[in-house]
Amino acid sequence: MPQALAEIVEDFQSVTEPERLEMLLDFSEELPELPARLAEHPDLLERVVECQTPLFLNIEVEPAGEHKVSLFFSAPPEAPTTRGFASVLHQGLDGLPAAAVLAVPDDMPNLLGLTRALTPLRLRGMTAMLARIKRQVSERVAAAGS
């Protein structure tokens, strides 16, 4: 677990459940806006099929060296839980070498102490978000190396 993410996890674990939800809300408000070059490409947005949260996720890795990772997310204001978790990952992982991002345990979302407050489906959504990030990082690194 990279240090920044480990510290966030520790912060969550050191408070009560209602405070954890407040903390997640704070994170949701800190999620940075997309840079213009991505914001102007709505074609990259994952589309709403029926009733789920449209989450936009894009990963960039530096072409050489440690392949430092940049994370970009976008989710609408009416999806604060999704935004909050994206923001946790952003603050915990942005700018780290690819190897550090890939080493994050897959069950990291379960370590935030929200397993009772959030529905199993929501938690799985967080796990899926982390899995997607790791998959994109692997693909980008492979592409950079070829």
Partner 1 sequence: MSLPIDSNPSFADYAHPERLVSTDWLAANLSTAGLVVLESNEDILLYNTGHIPGAVKVDWHTELNDEDTRDYVDGAGFAALMAAKGISRDSTVVIYGDKSNWWASYALWVFTLFGHEDVRLLDGGRDKWIAEGRELTREKPVVATTSYPVIERDDSVIRAFMPEVLGHFGKPMIDVRSPEEYSGERTHMPAYPEEGTLRGGHIPSAASVPWAKAAAEDGTFKSRKELEAIYLGEAGLAAGDDIITYCRIGERSSHTWFALQFLLGFENVRNYDGSWTEWGNAVRVPIVKGSEPGAVPAGFGA
Residue ranges binding partner 1 (CB under 8 A): 21-22, 24-25, 28, 46, 48-52, 77-82, 84, 116-122, 124-125, 127-128
Please, which residue, 48 or 103, has the CB nearer to partner 1? 48
**Rounded to the nearest whole angstrom, what is the least distance from the CB of residue 122 to partner 1 in the complex?**
8
27/21 Cα distance (integer angstroms) = 10
**Rounded to the nearest whole angstrom, what is the least distance from the CB of residue 50 to partner 1 in the complex?**
5
Please, which residue, 14 or 119, has the CB nearer to partner 1? 119
**Rounded to the nearest whole angstrom, what is the least distance from the CB of residue 2 to partner 1 in the complex?**
24
**Rounded to the nearest whole angstrom, what is the least distance from the CB of residue 107 to partner 1 in the complex?**
14
User: Measured at the alpha carbon of residue 31, what is the angle toward residues 26 and 32, in degrees to the nearest 5?
Assistant: 140
146/144 Cα distance (integer angstroms) = 6
Please, which residue, 77 or 145, has the CB nearer to partner 1? 77
Beta strands in 47-123 (DSSP E): 56-61, 69-74
141/120 Cα distance (integer angstroms) = 32
**Rounded to the nearest whole angstrom, what is the least distance from the CB of residue 34 to partner 1 in the complex?**
20
Please, which residue, 53 or 58, has the CB nearer to partner 1? 53
Please, which residue, 55 or 100, has the CB nearer to partner 1? 55
Tell me the torsion sign for CA atoms 34, 4, 144, 130.
Answer: negative
120-145 burial code (b ≥16 CB/10 A, e <16): eebbebbbebbeebbebbeebbeeee
